[in-house]
Structure 1
């Protein structure tokens, strides 16, 4: 990450579409972070490490305290302090980041923030930044909730990239909301957490909309990838040869990464993107596309594949034969494999393919 911190001003200007905010005063900003899941943990760690030279460590909260303690042990007390409650984040921090699993959890956390603000109204600017993937209208609800308190601002800032991109601080960050708040947040996140900010204006619903569009593109591509690799295996060519061809003619990072998972049956969702999250996103995309009268059949197909793969995995869990406790969304290929008469999660078993020289 050291090379990122040494970017030239011109490089940084291309990454952040805002001028630099004013130099902080005598008291540096107190930053908080809520949600230490597969993505949030890595984001919080990188943010904490980037601020080690500041006097205030990152204040973190997670429902499972063990994850907060793990982060504290990894980066040290000079970089991280564990919060006991959500109220502590809301009242003590100037900027509060959230990265949470779904809309219901996001709403419950922000309700807790609102209760804390009602008890202790802010006396200076306080910025709440949600980096989760949510339905766009929820962002509007949160904005209205927080704007009822003096000095409180809300920014939507969903992120693009898998856990390895979060680990290397190489995320792409969409951002919408109050302009001055976005400027402050953008320079906290780049290059500490991500490599680029995409500004979508003042309407807080725009960034979540772009996030769903982007995730839709990824899951649609994954569905085509799954069908193509399965077809390659069933035809006798073999999925590995088809995957090698993809790397030659369409070497997009997403296709290469997810193709590798599919070919090698790397379906552990604890180190990837859990299929429940993919199904949540596909439900959001299908709802939004229906409201806008904009059909997306590729998403319908991907949704069905993920539902089928999850059902097969749940059946394995009932019989205690599952290999992974959490299934990665790349396991959607299981649906194509079963439809073609192949093994769902183990591509080495029962292909029935005879390759002729």
Structure 2
């Protein structure tokens, strides 16, 4: 199976590297051509000048871009070149509605589509330990399973197209709540004059331990926010979650709080920082 990878950002580059390491990757494409050219040279694969070239050289196409409109733009460019040999796997975070729309477009040409958002952060992408939540045809998933396994250690079939993105929405709501809780708690501890390295060490051994505290606690204390998942992208995801909540008539107060706090930080110029930059706001408030 020849795989192509579209979208070489913070997540896409290490994911593509793991595909190449396992000899699945043949072609890459990125909106900024120089990024694709540099990675292609490193991995000894082709750098497509146009999406048409990538579609013609591959059967499996991964997409990992920022927004729904970016996914739709890529699909629109690829659409004339889809065939029954293609399986498109979208690892971006979008709405379920967008996933279903893309599936219809791909399937109209005889191919298949999986919405397969991921969790695990840049660290998981680099280490090949991502969690994939997959919506779509089980047979298509079985076909591409070895490729997903090259990038992750948890691959779960959630159901029909759109259920992968719906599951990711649950993940993003939970991540927002954890971010709120951890940053508030650490600001609370800091305000009491505690040795925060010891606080983090002991709490990560107990019932309140979590991935975010383990991986971001000490960097927050050092005011390092230049890694991981961009705050503005999490806010984009929370907007999707809010819209789902409105459709279902469900209140999501934690999501609303995080969304508002993120907007404050974005307005102050911190949107490109990791979501742990929420500590900036919480430490100020304490």
TM-score range, shorter chain: over 0.9
TM-score (normalizing by structure 2): 0.94
Q: Is the 8 A contact 2:7 2:65 kept in 1?
A: yes
Counterpart check, 1:252 vs 2:224: no
1:95 aligned residue: 60
Which of 263, 280, 284 is residue 334 of structure 1 equivalent to? 280
1:317 aligned residue: none
Q: Is the 8 A contact 1:59 1:81 kept in 2?
A: yes
TM-score (normalizing by structure 1): 0.76
Query: After alignment, is 256-265 or 30-39 more displaced?
Result: 256-265
Q: Which runs of 5+ in 1 are unaligned?
A: 1-28, 315-324, 341-357
- Separation in structure 2 between the aligned mates of residue 264 and residue 331 of structure 1, nearest angstrom: 11
2:113 aligned residue: 154
2:175 aligned residue: 218
**Per the alignment, in what secondary structure is the counterpart of residue 313 of structure 1?**
coil
Question: How many residues in Structure 1 have an aligned counterpart in Structure 2?
Answer: 285
**Structure 2 counterparts to residues 194-213 of structure 1, below 5 A:** 194-201=152-159, 203-213=160-170
- Separation in structure 1 between the aligned mates of residue 247 and residue 163 of structure 2, nearest angstrom: 15
- Separation in structure 2 between the aligned mates of residue 294 and residue 276 of structure 1, nearest angstrom: 24
Partner deviation per Cα, 1:255-293 (whole Å, 9 max, x = no partner): 21122332221211xx31111111101111111122222
How far apart are residue 240 of structure 1 and its match? 3.6
**Per the alignment, in what secondary structure is the counterpart of residue 114 of structure 1?**
helix
Q: Which runs of 5+ in 2 are unaligned?
A: none
Partner deviation per Cα, 1:132-159 (whole Å, 9 max, x = no partner): 000111101111122211x211111111
From the CA coordinates, give the structure whose radius of gyration is larger.
1
Partner deviation per Cα, 1:270-324 (whole Å, 9 max, x = no partner): x31111111101111111122222222111111122111222226xxxxxxxxxx
- Separation in structure 1 between the aligned mates of residue 180 and residue 94 of structure 2, nearest angstrom: 22
- Separation in structure 1 between the aligned mates of residue 228 and residue 129 of structure 2, nearest angstrom: 16
Partner deviation per Cα, 1:1-58 (whole Å, 9 max, x = no partner): xxxxxxxxxxxxxxxxxxxxxxxxxxxx221110100001100111011017xxxx51
Partner deviation per Cα, 1:42-89 (whole Å, 9 max, x = no partner): 00111011017xxxx5111011112112212322x2xx1111111122
1:3 aligned residue: none
Query: Which protein has the bigger helix share?
Result: 2
Q: Is the 8 A contact 2:26 2:58 kept in 1?
A: no
2:35 aligned residue: 67
